[in-house]
Structure 1
Amino acid sequence: MDVSDWYEQRGAFLVEREKRASEARQRLVLQILCNTDLDQLIGSDDKSKCHMCRRLRRLVERERLKGVSGHWSYDLNRHIGLKQALDTLKSSMRQNIPADAATSRGA
């Protein structure tokens, strides 16, 4: 086994491990805070996704404000999970909706 192969396999392992940790964080946050499943959410229609995007944006903003104010209940992992779940949801939408349109009442 060549050393370069070892480094390549190590790199692939680390990338896969980080991907799985990210997915687990997203699933946990969505289950606890929103009582929904990531796979179910990704399979839903765009209207439901827009509604959940608005909800996730509010939760991310609330968590950010907790962090800025130094609130005792702030959790960096929850903040990261919410943001990653929002990004995953936005990337799964059929049409790329601008950030302003997805937050408006009409969307």
Structure 2
Amino acid sequence: MRDFSGEIAAFRQDRLSELTDARQRAALQLCCGIELSSALSAEPASTLALLKRLERAIERERLRGVNRHWSYDLNRHIALKQVRDRLKGVFPNQPARLSLRPRRIRSKRNAAPVGAAS
């Protein structure tokens, strides 16, 4: 008699990966107007631009969640982050979060000394 447990596990894994892929495609299309298959097959320069656009969409979604906006959707937020991680596979040596704007570095001259009264 055949052992179906391996086939069942493979079927469940395939179904889960299809569901995850569909979620990511829908979130990317709705939030950014980008087709996932074209984003995955794009050249590196355009993929980097798409990643920056996706970072901004994730940031907007995060702000909706923080502000408890009625249109916030946790599943959309998760799907966008999964798409970002999937696209980041093209650039494994990039930092985890792309910088949308340079961070300000505080100079030691302008910093107030510890214990100083203002």
User: TM-score band (shorter)?
Assistant: 0.7 to 0.9
Deviations 1:28-73 (A, max 9, x none): 1122222221111111111111111111112112212222332111
Please show how residues 5-44 of structure 1 align to structure 2 within 5 Å: 5-44=3-42
RMSD (Å), alpha carbons? 2.1
Tell me the TM-score normalised to structure 1 length: 0.79
Following TM superposition, by how much is the alpha carbon of 1:94 offset from its aligned partner in structure 2, in angstroms? 5.2
Q: Which residue of 1 aligns with 2:93?
A: 96
* Identity over aligned pairs, percent: 43
Distance 1:97-1:10 versus aligned 2 partners, 3 A rule: same
Unaligned segments of structure 1, at least 5 residues: none
Q: Distance in 2 between matches of 1:71 and 1:33?
A: 16
Q: What stretches of structure 2 of length at least 5 have no aligned partner?
A: 103-118
Task: Tell me which residue corresponds to 1:80.
Answer: 78
Kindly indicate which of the two structures has a greater share of residues assigned to helix. 1
Size of the aligned set, in residue pairs, is 102
Q: Tell me: higher relative CO, structure 1 or 2? Use CA pairs within 8 A at least 6 residues apart.
A: 1
Q: Scaled by the length of structure 2, what TM-score is found?
A: 0.73
Select the structure of larger CA radius of gyration. Answer: 2
